[in-house]
A and B are shown apart, each in its own frame.
Chain A
């Protein structure tokens, strides 16, 4: 877990891998029958997968906008399969202990802390 909302050691990972990983977080299938027809239930479902509540105005606009954007994405069907030679490969090195953030630096931006820990909502 990183202590700041930026790259840090994550830069080491191939970003595409990072995006791939997200697939495993959202393995619940979205209705795959007709991609470009998007109704408010589809939008609500994806919003719940992404853990983002929507405003009422967003729920009203998103289905039509998503249908238009996804229809445009559909033109990717015309793209021929392409061999993907990775330009970057992972280069490994042994872990080294280095100076990091102090505990107070790491906790400084947290909304709530307790005894040197982040405090979050209950998980179940």
Chain B
């Protein structure tokens, strides 16, 4: 089964403590999260054979809670992809339909949970990489508020945008995993005190009576018809349970994908500069001078999508273009954030399709970067605004899973968990 789906890059058992809230649970950990003594590749040839000398904070939290880690989950190379096809260790297949992609970049994590190869999984979400594969595989995924979960030991792609998040078969299980991994960490100075004493699992009580749900027309525009119908039906169902829906317009989100890709590639060009083949990772050897060797090492170690994003980011930050791209993208980010702030003055949660499309067939869009980037239209605004969001199965269209995305205000994880648990009713 595992070999068929290619959900794991490394299958290895890491035993947790004897007792704890996750004592009976098996967990798949995305392969960009450091595990002491266990190879951590980021889906890249660059880090093939790299063995971290210490655990990420979230891995310590898992083992302290008694979880058994069953393997390092496949992923798009360095998290750069929407299908898990940019993995240098081969694509993961969608357990719902093996001819289709599981979504990405945390495709191995979602596929492992959907196929029962792990009870729970950790993914990372920079522009939708937990929510997209959760939607495509028919499971639950949470992107936490920026600063709720420690990124210590997460190998960075775009650090102002990314969070580690849980994937599970039910809202309550995902929330319980969030309870284990969330909390401030002195090793990650971007973690916050807020949310430290929350109880996310207890919030999965299905009580949406009196809750106000904002529906954003911009996030339904251009979406696949079957996706729209399925998501609308799920929202109608919440209304039938006592929630109120109102339309809220977020004009800024029309610029979210552009802003996201400028900021993410810019940060990637800086973050991935550390891969020089000297301290860790692939090396092309040390003949020739530093610049030549560096360029050759990186050419051999990085796949095409990673090179594309490093170059786009380098371009966006280069003299003459910094103001045009990077600064404007930061303006767009601030606009998206204030748009959401305004909306949350009137609503408790915001609902949309997680993905505007159904799961792609393997190979369908991988050669067209723009098509791939545009699929992130509904997930990227959440990362730009540092907000929490959950993707929950809303039903199927053409026999394929459709995800409903529920977005909350900062540190509003209990509210989105509550609303999502009502979708399961």
**Nearest-CB residue, chain A, relative to B329:** A76
- Across the interface, A75 reaches (CB within 8 A) one of B258, B275, B370, namely B258
Known A-B contacts: A12-B189, A73-B316, A101-B53. Give 15 more (CB < 8 A).
A19-B267, A19-B313, A22-B270, A28-B319, A49-B318, A65-B369, A77-B328, A79-B332, A79-B335, A87-B386, A109-B50, A109-B51, A120-B286, A121-B287, A124-B290
Residue count of chain A within 8 Å CB distance of chain B: 78
Q: Which residues of B lie under 8 Å from residue A79 when comparing CB positions?
A: 252, 255, 259, 328, 331-332, 335
Q: Give the Cβ gap from B268 to chain A, nearest Cβ, in Å.
A: 9
**Interface, chain B (partner A; CB < 8 A):** 34, 47, 49-54, 56, 147, 151-156, 158-161, 187-190, 252, 255, 257-259, 261-263, 266-267, 269-271, 273-281, 283, 286-296, 298-299, 302, 304, 307-308, 310-322, 324-326, 328-335, 338, 369-370, 373, 386
Contact, CB under 8 Å: A53 / B295: yes
Per DSSP, chain A at the interface is loop
* Separation of A5 and B319 alpha carbons in the complex (Å): 27
* Separation of A15 and B264 alpha carbons in the complex (Å): 11
- Across the interface, A121 reaches (CB within 8 A) one of B56, B289, B314, namely B289
CB under 8 Å from chain B, chain A span 53-84: 53-55, 58, 62, 65-66, 68-70, 72-73, 75-84
Q: Give the Cβ gap from B208 to chain A, nearest Cβ, in Å.
A: 29
Per DSSP, chain B at the interface is helix
**Nearest-CB residue, chain A, relative to B298:** A52
CB under 8 Å from chain B, chain A span 94-120: 101, 105-106, 108-112, 118-120
Q: Which residues of B lie under 8 Å from residue A5 when comparing CB positions?
A: 47, 50, 155, 274-275, 280-281
* Separation of A5 and B54 alpha carbons in the complex (Å): 12
